[in-house]
Structure formats: structure tokens, C-alpha cells
Amino acid sequence: MKVKSIEAINELKYLKSYNIKYHTKTGKEKECELVSRGDSNRLEKEIFHHQSFTDGAMVFATNEEKSNVVMLKEFRVSAGRYVYMFPAGLIETGEDIQLAAKREFKEETGLLLKPQFVEKERYVSVGIINERVNIVYGTYSGVASKAYQEDTEDADILIVNKDEARRILNEEEVSIRSAMLLQNFFKIHPFFDKD
């Protein structure tokens, strides 16, 4: 895959953009720009009534021994390069989060997921989008395969151990959520952990 061009647009096809007016703590009027997958009704429920929604799942799958995790080295158009990350995807109408996680995991890796714990939904990047995802933890089985990936997906499936995790963190482009999970799982954070 390769990025062809970049063009500014005023109207988005898959996301909605909002201008939120608010008052600062000293009473000044300010504006905040935000994009969302949801409509204004959802945004009002979130902001005024503090309701929580999920947009999808990120999957953290290990082997039974918890010595390896499944990752993707995926071409991300927004970065113009391959980025290491955990399998993830949007929830479809009528799915619960575990079903969405199992479906997305199968589509992206060809592997089966046995969910064991679902973390509550959390913001992805609260400064620009109200998207939230759940992290679904579990174990994987089967044989990795790209056969279920869509044409828009270009991802290698990786089974990562501690040494490879350390290499990826030091040498590769990794999403922040994925980096933090890798560091925590393998206890290789340079500030907190000592080997």
C-alpha cells in the first residue's frame, strides 16, 4: 500500500465534526473542535449526561503460557508507514464487545480468540476525538493467516516474545497504547522495571 496524495476537506464521510463552545474557569468563551463516529445525540449524552459508549475493541491475546502476544505490523494510511499495534476494530450493529473482538481478531489474524477479561471502554485520544474502545484480553489458538483480511488491510501477523517486544519498542513505530501494553506485560519499561 502507498499514500498517493493529501487533500483538505470540509465534510467528512465516516466521521462527524463538531465545534463545542464552552466557558473557561474564568468565564471566557472558547471553542473546541472534535470529530466523532457518532451523531450529535450521542455527543450530547456523553457531555451533558456522562453516558459512556464504545466504538470497538482492541485485542490483547496471549498463548496459554503467557509468554507470547499477537501483534500486527500494519500499514496505516494516516502514518504513511507500517505501525506495530494490537488487532482492533469497530463494533458492528447488534454485536456485544466480545463478539466484535472475536470477529475482528479472526479477520485480522486468522486466529481464534478466547476472551477472558474485558476492560471498560476508554478514550483513544480525548483531545481530538470522543472514540472509546474496550481492551479484550484472552488467549489465542489456531494458525495465523492473512486470508480473512480486507483489501484495505495490509498487515503481517506476529507472535511476539519478550526479546522481540524489546526490539520492536526500541526500533519500530508503535502506537502508544500498544507500546504501553507491551511494556507492562513483559515488564520492560525503562523507567519502572529493572531486568
Q: Per-residue pLDDT tens for 143-177?
A: 999 999 999 999 999 999 999 999 999 999 999 99
Cα(117)–Cα(143) distance, rounded to whole angstroms? 23
CA 195 to chain centre: 29
- State the virtual CA torsion across 33, 36, 38, 43 in degrees, nearest 10: -40
Residue 41 has which C-alpha cell?
A: 445525540
Cα(91)–Cα(89) distance, rounded to whole angstroms? 7
Q: Which mean pLDDT values do the consecutive 10-residue runs of the chain (195 residues) have?
A: 71 87 92 89 91 95 98 94 97 95 98 98 90 97 96 96 97 96 93 71
Cα(61)–Cα(158) distance, rounded to whole angstroms? 11
pTM (2 d.p.): 0.91
Q: Are 105 and 61 in contact (CB under 8 A)?
A: yes
User: 3-class SS at 98?
Assistant: helix
pLDDT, residue 10, reads 74
